[in-house]
Structure 1
Amino acid sequence: MNNHDDDYYFISYKSTEDRPVLAADEDTATMPYTSAKLPFGGRTLKFFNGALNKKNKHLFKKDPPDILFYGSDIAVNDDVYEKLSSMDILNLAIHPAIYVDHNDIWHENYWFLTFTEKFDCWDRDKSFYAPDPLTGFGDIRYEVISYHLNSNLLDQTNINERKLFKMGATTEGWILVHKSLAGLFNRTGVELVPVKDFGTTFFP
């Protein structure tokens, strides 16, 4: 049995004052863009900087990061998209997206990643989490403080079906990437957090 904790990274953001935070515009907010594959040729998703206010506009850079975050979900630039689109990633749907920055400049080179199914593969015996689950989401979710992956389940799952996935049964729903694909996400705006370091990174 392999120890898969060494094989995966959480795709996370660096908490900085100049980090743009995606917020959907009114039209996009009506679409199930975080959970469903939208019709091909449909409306392009549109986001603005939800972290922007009257006092902090000067903090944001002219060129936005390669990868932008909407909670734990991400929008990637053309370069990342072109590589991902040639791969057969299980449950992954990719939607074209526009990011309107702090200067009202439209960046039309983004793609929002959606997972139509989540992969619940964290180990209940080894992970540290709040024991009482949260309901009301249509499923059961736990607040996980630190992770260990379920090695038995991962051993039984083909590597091509678990190179990139959204973690299931958690309140955060972080995206995880296998080490063989991690370099693709080592971009501006991203911090790749090893599974074994997750608790110390977010809860020092």
Structure 2
Amino acid sequence: MKDYNEDYYLLFANPDYEEYDIEPDDSSAKRNYDSEELDFGQKPLIFTTETSDLSFANGDYEIFFPIGSIVVTDKLKVKLEEGLYGSKFYPAIVKGEDKGIREDVWALNVFKPLDCWDRNKSIAVYPGGAKSLQGIDVLPSIKSFHLSHEVLDEIPENDRLIFVMDNTDVTNIFVHRRVVDIFFDKNIKGVNFFKVSQYRFGMEFV
């Protein structure tokens, strides 16, 4: 049996590179790009860094981190887009607060997250210990993941190299080791990877 916990990694922003954190403008935030599919042909999503100048991110292969998604440069998008599950790359713009702009970037538009965490083997904590309140399911905080082979076996590997986990309290992006290899090969800054088998909640903040 294939051990997906050895093949997949969680992708996080590296806390030592806060300059790569970005915020959507009010109009973009209202478009729910992290939960609803956007139609091509509309305005690009617009994000701003917390730095005055964007000159720190002028490479061909860059990644930025809005809450609930990622934004990547055009050349990185080409490397990643064939393996997306339940998402697509949508045109975006990243600006410095005062200076600099990149229009060759794409935001990950997530519209179909994948529920593939094993309820019996993952460690999940429910607020107050309740799994539902008044008939409404409560989303748990996952302290460690165990991926379900029953779910993943049904999806061809090339169609799930990148996916977002469903039915948890925060957005977690999972990537196959083939994707991790791309980031290391291109020496891309600002990102951390944690193998699923080794990840424990909180590692991403250190």
TM-score by length of 1: 0.82
Q: Hey, what's the Cα distance between the residues in 1 that align with 2:63 and 2:137?
A: 28
Match in the other structure for 1:180: 178
What are the residue-to-residue correspondences of 1:98-109 with 2, within 5 Å? 98-109=93-104
Match in the other structure for 1:191: 192
Q: Is the 8 A contact 1:139 1:169 kept in 2?
A: no
Alpha carbon RMSD of aligned pairs, Å? 2.6
**2:55 aligned with 1:62:** yes
One-letter identity of the residue aligned with 1:122: W
Match in the other structure for 2:39: 39
Q: Is the 8 A contact 1:36 1:93 kept in 2?
A: no
Q: Hey, what's the Cα distance between the residues in 2 that align with 1:17 and 1:83?
A: 22
**Aligned-pair CA distance for 1:83:** 2.4
Q: Hey, what's the Cα distance between the residues in 2 that align with 1:115 and 1:134?
A: 25
How many pairs were matched up? 194
Residue 88 and residue 6 in structure 1: after superposition, are their counterparts in 2 closer, same or farther (change >3 A)? closer
Q: Hey, what's the Cα distance between the residues in 2 that align with 1:139 and 1:107?
A: 40
After superposing on structure 2, the runs of 4+ consecutive aligned residues of structure 1 that deviate more than 4 Å are none
**3-state SS of 1:181 partner:** helix
Q: Which residue of the other structure, out of 190, 201, 204, is the alignment partner of 2:203?
A: 201
Q: Which residue of the other structure, out of 116, 120, 123, is the alignment partner of 2:115?
A: 120
Q: Hey, what's the Cα distance between the residues in 2 that align with 1:94 and 1:107?
A: 16
Q: Is the 8 A contact 2:54 2:100 kept in 1?
A: no
One-letter identity of the residue aligned with 1:148: H
Residue 4 and residue 14 in structure 1: after superposition, are their counterparts in 2 closer, same or farther (change >3 A)? same
Residue 201 and residue 40 in structure 1: after superposition, are their counterparts in 2 closer, same or farther (change >3 A)? same
Match in the other structure for 1:79: 75
**3-state SS of 2:65 partner:** strand
Unaligned runs of 5+ in 1: none
Q: Is the 8 A contact 2:165 2:172 kept in 1?
A: yes
Q: Is the 8 A contact 2:8 2:195 kept in 1?
A: yes
Q: Hey, what's the Cα distance between the residues in 1 that align with 2:159 and 2:18?
A: 35
Residue 142 and residue 6 in structure 1: after superposition, are their counterparts in 2 closer, same or farther (change >3 A)? same
Unaligned runs of 5+ in 2: none
Residue 21 and residue 166 in structure 1: after superposition, are their counterparts in 2 closer, same or farther (change >3 A)? same
Identical residues among aligned pairs (%): 27
**Aligned-pair CA distance for 1:72:** 3.9
Q: Is the 8 A contact 1:133 1:143 kept in 2?
A: no
Q: Hey, what's the Cα distance between the residues in 1 that align with 2:76 and 2:132?
A: 34
Q: Tell me the alpha carbon deviations over residues 121-178 of structure 1, each in whole angstroms, 9 at most, x when there is no partner.
A: 111111112134478xx97521101111112322233213322110111112211111
**3-state SS of 2:64 partner:** strand
One-letter identity of the residue aligned with 1:46: I
Q: Is the 8 A contact 2:141 2:169 kept in 1?
A: yes
One-letter identity of the residue aligned with 1:10: L
